[in-house]
Structure 1
Amino acid sequence: MDIVRALIIVDLQTDFCDGGSVPVPGADRLVHAINGYLAGRPDYEHVVATKDFHIDPGGHFSEHPDYSSSWPAHCRAGSRGSDFHPELDTGHLGAVFHKGAYGAAYSGAEGVDEHGVTLPEWLRQRGVDEVDVVGVATDHCVRHTAADLARAGFTTRVLLDLTAGASPDTTNEALSQLHTAGIELVRSR
């Protein structure tokens, strides 16, 4: 039986890029790197993306954020900041999973598509066995998305050269946790 693979692009949104309300260093570089990677026709049957999409996230937003559980306002539903980076090629996307409408949500596995289907359920419906995770931020949403998909039974890899972290210390800690959880940490090429 053939292995069915999916690429998960995590939160490559305007507010997480240069000039956004919570910029992740290197996020803009990722847009071009991921576009180039997809143009090289990697062997994925499905490409999907996640989006932070906040309507009323309560204490997740703060005027005095701790950058751990509270953050400056970002990715408000319908705002320019919630849009994908304008140069991201979204033509490959089979679905988009919105997360965090009414609270903090760090994992793409918590997101739902336009029909209310969760990311893990959507992947199972399509017989996906293996997932590669890319995007931002390595130490937050990439980490949680990869860990949750692995726990859901998918063979999971994080493509390190197609991710960017918010801070070196928390990124290194996240990568250590992912490695310990059995998630492969590899380069895309």
Structure 2
Amino acid sequence: MKKALLVIDYTYDFVASDGKLTCGEPGQVLDEKIASLIEQFIADQEFIVFANDLHEENDSFHPETKLFPPHNIRGTKGRHLYGRVGEMYNLYKDKVLWLDKTRYSAFAGTNLFILLKERGIEEIHLVGVCTDICVLHTAVDAYNLGIPTVIYAHGVASFDAAGHEWALRHFEHTLGAKIVQ
């Protein structure tokens, strides 16, 4: 079975202590787990996508403008991948895909579904942040597209602990996703 690893929003703004919309420590402790999964997927010659939030400075029309402080602005440090995950991206740039996204879901407004189909991907594996926002919306879209999904419980985090726990239950009990502990 061909698989794809989607590393969602593991950027400076979402993970670093001084990031603009950070998960902080819960996000930072994911670094080694996600890096290890990247190594595993590279060794198995599986598809890896780094799906990253992209916003334009002073975009008053984007719906998130009213919900969150400015984050992941084009051309800023906030869009850089965090920690060892960033190092892994730089090491394997020619074997992975960077995918800009402007909505919560990695599928919304992107060609991700087409890329997965072209490669014969039969299952996606999700890691990154935030569990109850971008990871959740990506998983919901995958469900609606009929793509079996695996979520790594120790590979996702949020700045909202209750939302994180709710999303893990929702993945399993409502979307039928497999949760790996």
Report the TM-score range of the alignment, normalised by the length of the smaller protein. Answer: 0.7 to 0.9
Q: TM-score scaled by structure 2?
A: 0.85
Read off the aligned partner of 2:76 and give its amino acid letter. Answer: S
Superposition RMSD on alpha carbons, in Å? Answer: 1.8
Q: Partner letter of residue 159 of structure 2?
A: A
| Count of matched residue pairs | 169
Question: Quick check: 1:54 aligned with 2:55?
Answer: yes
Paired letter, 2:62: G
Shift of 1:86: 4.6
- Equivalent in the alignment of 1:23: 22
Pairing 1:1-189 to 2, within 5 Å after superposition: 3-17=1-15, 18-25=17-24, 26-40=26-40, 43=44, 45-55=46-56, 56=59, 58-62=62-66, 70-88=67-85, 89-90=88-89, 91-92=91-92, 94-100=96-102, 105-110=103-108, 112=110, 118-179=111-172, 180-187=174-181
Do the aligned partners of residues 23 and 175 (structure 1) sit closer, same or farther apart at CA in structure 2, a change above 3 Å counting? same
For the residues of structure 1 that align with 2:170 and 2:83, how far apart are their CA atoms?
A: 32
Residue aligned with 2:167, SS: helix
Q: Match of 1:12, as an amino acid?
A: Y
Provide the TM-score with structure 1 as the length reference: 0.81
User: Percent identical across equivalent pairs?
Assistant: 27
Aligned letter for 1:23? T
The alpha-carbon deviation at position 8 of structure 1 amounts to 0.5
Q: State the Cα distance separating 1:61 from its structure 2 match.
A: 2.0
Structure 1 spans left out of the alignment, 5+ residues: 63-69, 113-117
Is the CA contact (8 Å cut-off) linking 2:38 and 2:48 kept in structure 1? no
Which structure features the higher share of helix residues? 2
2:98 counterpart SS class: strand
Instruction: Extract unaligned runs of 5+ from structure 2.
Output: none
Q: Residue deviations 1:95-150, cap 9 Å, x none?
A: 111111xxxx11111253xxxxx111110111000111000011111111122112
Q: Does the 8 Å contact 1:139/1:166 carry over to 2?
A: no
Q: Single out whichever of 53-62 and 144-153 deviates more from structure 2.
A: 53-62
For residues 36 and 176 of structure 1, what CA distance do their matches in structure 2 show?
24
SS of corresponding position for 2:29 = helix
Verify the 8 A CA contact 1:14 1:85 in the aligned structure 2.
yes
Q: Tell me the alpha carbon deviations over residues 44-90 of structure 1, each in whole angstroms, 9 at most, x when there is no partner.
A: 5111111100022534124xxxxxxx101100111110121153210
